[in-house]
Amino acid sequence: MRHQLFLFDLDDTLLDFRASEQLSFVRTMSALGYDGAIEPVFQDYQAINVGLWRSFELGLVDKDFLKVERFRQTFAMHALALDPEAASRLYLDALPETVVLVEGALEVCAALSQLGEIGIVTNGVEHIQQRRIASSGLGSFLSFVATSEACGHAKPDVRIFDYAAGMARAFVPAATIIVGDRLDADILGANRFGIDSCWFNPGGAPNGSEARPTFEVARLHELLPVLAR
């Protein structure tokens, strides 16, 4: 296997963020005293959250604004007299306690850690991502975690990839690969940085973007045989 440095996105690649997000949202709303229908509120929160993260990745908003604004907009949309700042605190506290692993994550990381070095590259809040990794059981397989908050730049900006490369024991572009679910962040960033990439695409979505993955897998268990070829 020619790859020696394995970079992974975290959310929706190793951790099932959507499952964790819903559990944390339900817990947050319950703590705020909300007892109405949760699903329509959660769906709108998800859409708002995705839009704000896109704005963050373009440098249009900062992380502190995003964390509260997603709740403020959601509560305004549903005319809920709830405190968005309290919601943000409760939600971020709940996230590390509602970790759900993507199938195969532990096994694949255990195997790759015997073949080289594993690092995480994530657009996330430093202390939250560190706590989630600690709760996941993945920590013993990882050499480092590079977050957008600590770096100051978010994927697909090549500066976060450069930041991650600087944290590695050894970085050789031709022997480095990133595995991630997002074409516009993980794969495009890898293209720009000049490293291989593997698109984790469990839903079989078409690629209509400019990003060009080196490999594509639908299940994490497929990763080792693909890289071995």
Q: Amino acid identity, residue 148?
A: S
- Take residue 39 and report the two structure tokens written for it: 């699903």
- With contact defined as beta carbons under 8 Å apart, do 126 and 103 qualify? no
Active site positions, annotated? 9
In sequence order, the 6+-apart residues with CB closer than 8 A to the CB of 123 are 53, 56, 57, 147, 148, 154, 155, 160, 185
Q: How far apart are CA 175 and CA 190, in angstroms?
A: 13
Q: How far apart are CA 136 and CA 138, in angstroms?
A: 5
Q: How far apart are CA 177 and CA 73, in angstroms?
A: 37
CB count in 10 Å sphere of residue 175? 16
- Take residue 38 and report the two structure tokens written for it: 């949760």
In sequence order, the 6+-apart residues with CB closer than 8 A to the CB of 38 are 25, 26, 29
